[in-house]
Structure 1
Amino acid sequence: MTLSRRQMLVLGGGGIVALATFAAAPVPSGEPVEIAMRGTPRGERVWFSPSGLSVEAGTPLRFVNQDPANSHTCTAYHPDLFDRQRRIPSAAVPWDSDFLLPGDSFALTLTVPGVYDYYCRPHEMAAMVGRIVVGRPGDPGWEGPAPDSEDLMAEVLAAFPPVDAILARGRVQAQEAA
């Protein structure tokens, strides 16, 4: 079937409305979602993109190192991993991607509702952290964000996007350098 230009424009306009509606909803499970590990060309700034993401339980995630200058990790805050304070739901399994070279990726699926905070081991002090919200408050077993603690620098705590902003927008981007 061939569509006329007018039909394509009408369909495209509807797609824009659908996309605007979709942005505030969690990404449905089954659709893989990519989270990029990024950095400036000289490596003076590093970040996850998006830094905040809302998904449904069971949504496959893929962390991809798109930074040509650095290796990165994606590591959950958890006592079983490097003796860190737990910042993921208590029933969730912690993860560590180990070092990913440029172009490498790591796959993960989160099934427990709640707030998951993670970081890049070599770049945590540069506030390379992210937050994933699985489900919504009120879902059975949902756990909110961990309280602030003294084991994280104020700059790192400030880099976590607020849960309400993630839920309202679906994705929150880190302040990316130009």
Structure 2
Amino acid sequence: MMLTRRHALQVGGASIALLALHSRVFAASDVVDIVMAGRPDGSHVWFDPIGVHIQPGQTVRWTNNDPSNAHTSTAYHPSILDRPRRIPNGARPWDSGYLMPGESFEVKLTVTGVYDYYCQPHEQAGMVGRIVVGHPPDRDYPATVRAGLAPLPAAALAYMPTISDILASTR
């Protein structure tokens, strides 16, 4: 079979298009989506999923799909509202600010460990989440509490998933 110039260009073009598509699919897999949700009457709010396991360097994107409420994604860290540190040493804390319905916020997590976060206006209602990055020790994570920092509300502690449950759900 003789390869014509037209055939070579068609094959080459198809290969480039396939490679571009593959690159977009790979890039999309580097982003993990977490939805901010709530009941229409505002009686219950949550992150979905509440616990995720990712690899270092992946990006987490929170999107507010709750038509009734503004939400935040805020790391537990002393530099943000004097909260206890519940992210790894060396990791950068984040605060999305208030996200209105339909808005998103992203953070790239590079330090291995456990990251706990909450929604500022709904922490008392238990709107919290946990991200496990890489392979930290397979044990539950003690909060680092310094004198003078506000403790976590009982509802936040009650809803926080365990590390072992998060790791088991991704195996």
Whether these two folds match at TM > 0.5 is yes
SS at match of 2:135: coil
CA distance in 2: counterparts of 1:69 and 1:87, whole angstroms: 29
TM-score normalised per structure 1: 0.73
TM-score normalised per structure 2: 0.76
In structure 2, the gaps of 5 or more residues are: 1-26
Question: Residue 32 of structure 1: CA displacement?
Answer: 1.1
**Structure whose residues are more often helix by fraction:** 2
**Residues 54-107 of structure 1: CA distance to partner in whole angstroms, max 9, x if unpaired?**
000011111000000000000000001111110000110000000000000001
Match of 2:55 in 1: 56
Counterpart selection for 1:146 from 123, 128, 142: 142
Match of 1:95 in 2: 94
Tell me which structure has the larger Cα radius of gyration: 2
User: How has the CA–CA distance of structure 1 residues 113 and 144 changed in structure 2, closer, same or farther, with 3 Å as cutoff?
Assistant: farther
CA distance in 2: counterparts of 1:35 and 1:51, whole angstroms: 8
Q: Which amino acid aligns with 1:146?
A: P
Map 1:127-146 onto structure 2 (within 5 A): 127-137=126-136, 145-146=141-142
In structure 1, the gaps of 5 or more residues are: 1-27, 172-178
- Compare relative contact order (CA 8 Å, sep 6+) and give the higher one, 1 or 2: 1
Question: Residue 156 of structure 1: CA displacement?
Answer: 1.3
Question: Identity of paired residues, percent?
Answer: 51
Superposition CA RMSD, Å: 2.4
